[in-house]
Amino acid sequence: MEDQYIHLLFFVAFILLLLDCNSLDTISANQEIRDGKTTLVSEGEMFELGFFSPGKSKNRYMGIWYNKISYGTVVWVANRETPIADRSGMLKLNRQGNLVICSGGNPMVWSSNPVESMQGNNSVVVAKLLDTGNLVVLDDNKTIWQSFDYPGDTYLPGMKFGKDLVTGLQTIMTSWKSPDDPSVGVYSDIHDTNGYPQNLRFQGEVLIGRLGPWHGLGFSGFPLDKTNQIYSLDFVMNENEIYHIYKLKSSIAQRIILTWDGRTLTLQWIERIQDWIVYAESEVDNCDRFSLCGAYGICNINKHPPCSCMQGFEPRHPEEWEGSDWASGCKRKKPLTCGDGKGDGFLKIPGVKVPDTRRSWYNESMTLRECEIACKRNCFCTGYANLDIRNGGSGCLLWLDELLDTRVYDGDQDLYIRMVLDNLDMGRGFSLG
């Protein structure tokens, strides 16, 4: 009941704010947006920018929220760590293209600090709120700063999530501390570019989850309806940037949110009920917990217990393993011969979410056969797989460390793990070098 009351108050506050406001979609240098006086509204009225208070908080933040649908649902906050205690907040764009928030007592509550410099002294700078929810600063029509590069807890369609290799800028999603406090909470999602890129989830400093690397059609181990009419997912990797991007195919509204308590939800707006429903949730079962089964363990959610050792491996600490504590993982029954590699072969494990790729190496043009040879030549190589599963498979991904966080997955990606030849079950797929 109390919650509903608060929601009502929140809603009324927004309506009052709306009535009181003049709305534009662009501000020019030295124009300002004042708390309670002005807001920006994107051209098609999808999003609005202004000052607000989240949940039960009385603090004021500058942010962007939905306008046409789901009025007041916040998608981005500027001064997350520096709230304003009163209604003296003001957003300005200065001549240098820097967005600055100030308040009665503080000339610099927050600033955008554009990465790219201005074109010249006579160039025209404006800040514009787009219908995608992106706030951009344009210098003679060139984007010198955009809020999409600095997401908070919300990922909107059209955002690039990854790393700009030229500027070093990396997008990170961070949860709010609580529904009433948008300051940086304990959960974060990052597109990690060590080894072959993959998305990692942290709780503080601890790695707790992983979306598998891109395999051409989607993320390894991530359910994707390939024929869906709602969205498309893409992955781009070149010398300038590495990112994935998600786009909507229709006018349906979706957003992905990292909740304050660590869930990643894809939410979809349903016009009929005027509310968001959970369209998809990543991390839904035990096998999604990072490395639940330890090194060389393999997680199968349809088995009880879910953890087992890969073939040719046995529990490192059987007592712990018996007690359902699988974290110490598995060890080889027989050590690799390595040396010239002649005594080693590979066992195929079909249909998996491939292991953690932070300590991996890859080549996009090598064949599976070349990949096997490359793996065999390297004493540290523990396994390999095709990088791209499309058209019968291409590219080489090989692991240079213990295999962590592998799970049985009803997908199309196969993993080849290294072991001594006489450990291979000859009836199963294997190959000689």
Residues that bind ligand NAG (CB under 6 A): 120-121, 140-141, 363, 365-366, 370
Cβ(99)–Cβ(127) under 8 Å?
A: yes
Q: How far is the CB of 266 from ligand NAG (least distance, A)?
A: 34
Can you tell me the distance from the alpha carbon of 118 to that of 135, in angstroms, rounded to the nearest whole number? Answer: 18
Residue closer to ligand NAG (CB basis): 238 or 365: 365
Residue closer to ligand NAG (CB basis): 118 or 336: 118
The CA–CA distances, whole Å, from 367 to 238, 350, 380, 420 equal: 20, 18, 20, 23
For 105-145, the DSSP string reads: TEEEEEE---SSPPS-TT--EEEEE-TTS-EEEEETTEEEE
| Residue 64 burial class via C-beta count within 10 angstroms: exposed 0-12, middle 13-18, buried 19 and up | buried
Q: How far is the CB of 241 from ligand NAG (least distance, A)?
A: 17
**Three-class DSSP labels, 150-205:** CCCCEECCCCEEEEECCCCCECEEEEEEECCEEEEEEEEEEEECCCCCEEEEEECC
Q: How far is the CB of 366 from ligand NAG (least distance, A)?
A: 5
Cβ(31)–Cβ(38) under 8 Å?
A: no
Residue closer to ligand NAG (CB basis): 102 or 127: 127
Q: How far is the CB of 368 from ligand NAG (least distance, A)?
A: 12
Cβ(136)–Cβ(143) under 8 Å?
A: yes
Residue closer to ligand NAG (CB basis): 141 or 229: 141
Residue closer to ligand NAG (CB basis): 82 or 96: 96
Q: How far is the CB of 116 from ligand NAG (least distance, A)?
A: 13
The CA–CA distances, whole Å, from 273 to 7, 269, 400 equal: 17, 9, 51
Cβ(213)–Cβ(397) under 8 Å?
A: yes
Instruction: Count CB atoms within 10 A of the CB of residue 407.
Output: 25
Angle at 340 between CA 337 and CA 346, to 5 degrees: 60
Residue closer to ligand NAG (CB basis): 370 or 401: 370
Check whether the bond before 305 is cis (ω within 30° of 0). Answer: yes
Q: Torsion angle of alpha carbons 311, 317, 318, 320, nearest 10°?
A: -120
Cβ(307)–Cβ(297) under 8 Å?
A: yes
Q: How far is the CB of 120 from ligand NAG (least distance, A)?
A: 4
Q: How far is the CB of 363 from ligand NAG (least distance, A)?
A: 4
Residue closer to ligand NAG (CB basis): 31 or 337: 31
Q: How far is the CB of 374 from ligand NAG (least distance, A)?
A: 8
Residue closer to ligand NAG (CB basis): 253 or 375: 375
